[in-house]
Amino acid sequence: MNMPDLDSFGHDPWWLMLVKCLAIFAFLMLTVLVAILAERKILGRMQMRFGPNRVGPFGLLQSLADGVKLALKEGLIPAGVDKPIYLMAPVIAVVPAIMAFAVIPMGGLVSVFGYTTALQLTDLPVAVLYVLAVTSVGVYGIVLAGWASGSTYPLLGGLRSSAQVVSYEIAMALSFVAVFLYAGTMSTSGIVAAQNGTWFVFLLLPSFLVYVTSMVGETNRAPFDLPEAEGELVGGFHTEYSSLKFAMFMLAEYINMTTVSALATTMFLGGWQAPFPFNMIDGANSGWWPLLWFVGKVWAFLFLFIWLRATLPRLRYDQFMALGWKLLIPVSLGWIVIVAITQTLRGQGSPTWVAVVISIGAVITVALILMIRLSLRRKAIPEFSLPMDPGAVSVYPIPPIPSPPRVSREHSDV
């Protein structure tokens, strides 16, 4: 098995770097087209109906037809918009989503036209921080789209999205700290190599659960799609957009889904390494086979996105923000302390079972505290009941009902 490291990058000729860039771009575009079609078909099956089945054989050309339809629509620009920022916002949303994929390892070392290269565009000593920095820039496209439209509802959607993405990016970044402590590096190829024996999803399960929750919230997907809640926000930050500009926002959303899924695969599921029992086959982690395992793991997370959309209802905004600030961030901070303690004990020569016992005991303690807190909170919530006496004081204040206007006796017969 050929594991690339930081020394494996920076030696490719310019044309091979260009081929890698084009291959990553084509992979993302193809994944978006397939994901849109798969989402509509899977949602249809889960809701006891057929998905798209008219355009092309078995409806396979539906995504392509939707893209052509959006391209042929008239691009309208409302009169009151800030035109430069209005046109720039979709580009700002899409470009960072594509750039984040530059440091995602999709395979080991392979031979391409006589050159030994890694199935990865490049790598950095702080590659994961690069991904977090680049993806955080994408929220500016959403905020600027809502602000530049000159309308109330897009502005409200943009503000909601900015608060949502910032809140859940904090929890997402904290979930990576435990991975850094175990792997000893922030390089994506180094993190994949550190999972050669055991995947981090088994060693760092709380971090994995926090990340999975955060990645759904960070990408504005159901049940956390508050910036696009149709009931109160019309269409969210992209209400005033049409044609290709609207399509670019949808493209950014699905590319972000692919990026966070690939990052989850890299950080917790062993990256491009073969899962059990395929890892017992000689050559399963060499050549081009790792690309197959990587794509399969990414699509497992994409299926999770679709499954959540078909299953869970949309949360209230206060519930959503409370989940991020009051649960995910404190749990991540406590788990980082536990991982740091166990890593210190292992470094001092303590047996492995001591660290395992401490981790399990801490997780059980936190779970019990959360269960007790939720039970006490439910008991503290008063039951809703309307007062029978109009003069009685209710737990829930009821505004006074204005009395009907009096009709004078002179106009009573009119």
327-379 pLDDT tens trace: 888 888 888 888 888 888 877 777 766 666 776 777 777 777 777 766 666 66
How far apart CA 126 and CA 101 sit, in angstroms, is 14
Query: With contact defined as beta carbons under 8 Å apart, do 325 and 317 qualify?
Result: no
pTM of the predicted model over 0.75: yes
d(CA 233, CA 225): 11
Whose tokens are 């439910």? That residue is: 378
Highest mean pLDDT among 246-250, 274-278, 296-300: 296-300
Average pLDDT (258-264) is 94
Q: Indicate the domain borders of the chain.
A: 6-329
The residue with tokens 């009685």 is: 392
d(CA 312, CA 52) in angstroms, rounded, equals: 22
Taking alpha carbons only, the member of 276, 218, 226, 236 closest to residue 96 is 218
* Secondary structure element (H or E) that encloses residue 344, with its range: helix 329-347
| Gap between the Cα atoms of 254 and 249, Å rounded | 9
Query: CB 74: neighbour CB atoms within 10 A?
Result: 6
In this structure, the number of other CB atoms found within 10 A of the CB of residue 169 comes to 19
Contacts of 357 (CB under 8 A, 6+ apart): none
Distances (CA, A) of 129 to 7, 19, 86, 157, 250: 19, 25, 29, 27, 25
User: What average pLDDT does the chain have?
Assistant: 83
Q: Please give the backbone phi and psi of residue 329, each rounded to the nearest 5 degrees, phi first.
A: -65, -45
- pLDDT tens-digit series, residues 109-142: 888 888 888 899 999 999 999 998 998 888 888 8
Provide the token pair at 391: 């003069």
Q: Which helix (H) or strand (E) holds 115?
A: strand 115-118
Closest CA to 37 of 25, 23, 53, 21: 53
Question: Considering Cα of 313, then 319, then 321, then 326, what sign does the dihedral take?
Answer: negative
Amino acid at 209: L
Beta bridge partners of 112: 115
Question: Across residues 68-96, what is the average pLDDT?
Answer: 88
How many of the other CB atoms lie within 10 Å of CB of 95?
16
pLDDT reading at 196 higher than 70: yes
Sign of CA dihedral 120, 124, 128, 132: negative
CA–CA separation, 222 and 216 (whole Å)? 7
Are 212 and 264 in contact, with CB atoms under 8 Å apart?
yes
Q: Name the nearest CA neighbour of 247 among 367, 90, 96.
A: 90
Distance CA 353, CA 33 (A): 47
Cis peptide before 275 (omega within 30 of 0): no
pLDDT band at residue 384, thresholds of 50, 70 and 90? very low
Q: What's residue 394's pLDDT?
A: 54
**By three-state DSSP, how is residue 37 classified?**
helix
* H helix and E strand count, the chain: 14, 2
Residue 211: per-residue pLDDT: 93
Cα–Cα distance for residue pair 135/224, rounded to 1 Å:
18
pLDDT of residue 390: 53
